[in-house]
Amino acid sequence: ISRLPHPVARAGAWATARVLSSHAVGSDQSPLVSSGWLASVLASPTDAQSVRVIDCSVVEAYRRAHITGAVRLPIHYYLKEGNAPTSTEILSAKSVEGLCRMLGITHKTCVVTYDDNNALLASRLWFVLQHYGHPNVHVLDGGWHRWLTEGRPVTFHQVRIPPQDSSSDYSWIRAEGDVAQLDAVLAAATGDSGVQLVDARTTAEWGGVAPEGSRGNKYMGRVPQAVHFEWLNTVSTDDFRSFASPDQLRGMIQKAGIDVSRPIITYCQLVREP
> In angstroms, rounded to a whole number, what is the distance separating the alpha carbons of residues 3 and 168?
20
Among 75, 88, 76, smallest CA distance to 180 is for 88
Long-range contacts of range 232-238, CB-CB < 8 Å, 24 or more positions apart? 232/118, 232/202, 234/18, 234/19, 234/21, 235/118, 235/119
Which of the residue ranges 156-170, 177-191, 221-235 has the most confident prediction, judged by mean pLDDT?
221-235
pLDDT band at 29 (very low <50, low <70, confident <90, very high): low
pLDDT above 50 for 24: no
Share of the chain above pLDDT 70, in %: 86
| Angle in degrees, CA 145, 151, 155, rounded to 5 | 85
SS3 content of the chain, % helix, strand, coil (to 5): 30, 15, 60
Task: State yes or no: pLDDT of 61 exceeds 90.
Answer: yes
For residues 154 and 136, give the distance between their C-alpha atoms in angstroms, rounded to a whole number.
24
C-alpha gyration radius of the chain = 19
In this structure, are residues 119 and 243 in contact, taking their beta carbons and an 8 Å threshold? yes
> Each residue of 189-223: pLDDT tens digit?
998 889 999 999 988 888 888 777 777 777 788 99
Alpha-carbon distance 30 to 7, whole Å?
6
Burial class of 224 by CB neighbour count within 10 A (0 to 12, 13 to 18, 19+): exposed
CB within 8 Å of 199: residues ≥ 6 apart: 15, 205, 206, 222, 223, 226, 227, 228, 229, 266, 267, 268
Nearest CA-CA partner of 258 in 193, 200, 180: 200
Is 180 in contact with 10 (CB distance < 8 Å)?
A: no
Least confident piece of the model among 170-184, 212-226, 242-256: 212-226
CB–CB of 41/47 below 8 Å? yes
> Rounded distance, CA 26 to CA 38, Å?
12
How confident is the model at residue 84, as a pLDDT?
67
Confidence grade of residue 270 (pLDDT, cut at 50, 70, 90) = low
Decide if 100 contacts 170 (C-beta within 8 A): yes
Mean pLDDT in residue range 227-249: 95
pLDDT score recorded for residue 75: 94
Q: What is the mean pLDDT of residues 131-153?
A: 96
Residues 226 and 235: their CA atoms lie apart, in Å, by 22
Mean per-residue pLDDT, 89-114: 93
Classified as helix, coil or strand, 118 is coil
More confident residue, 216 or 114: 114
* pLDDT above 70 for 7: no
Q: Mean per-residue pLDDT for 48-69?
A: 96
- Mean pLDDT, range 33-55, rounded to an integer: 95
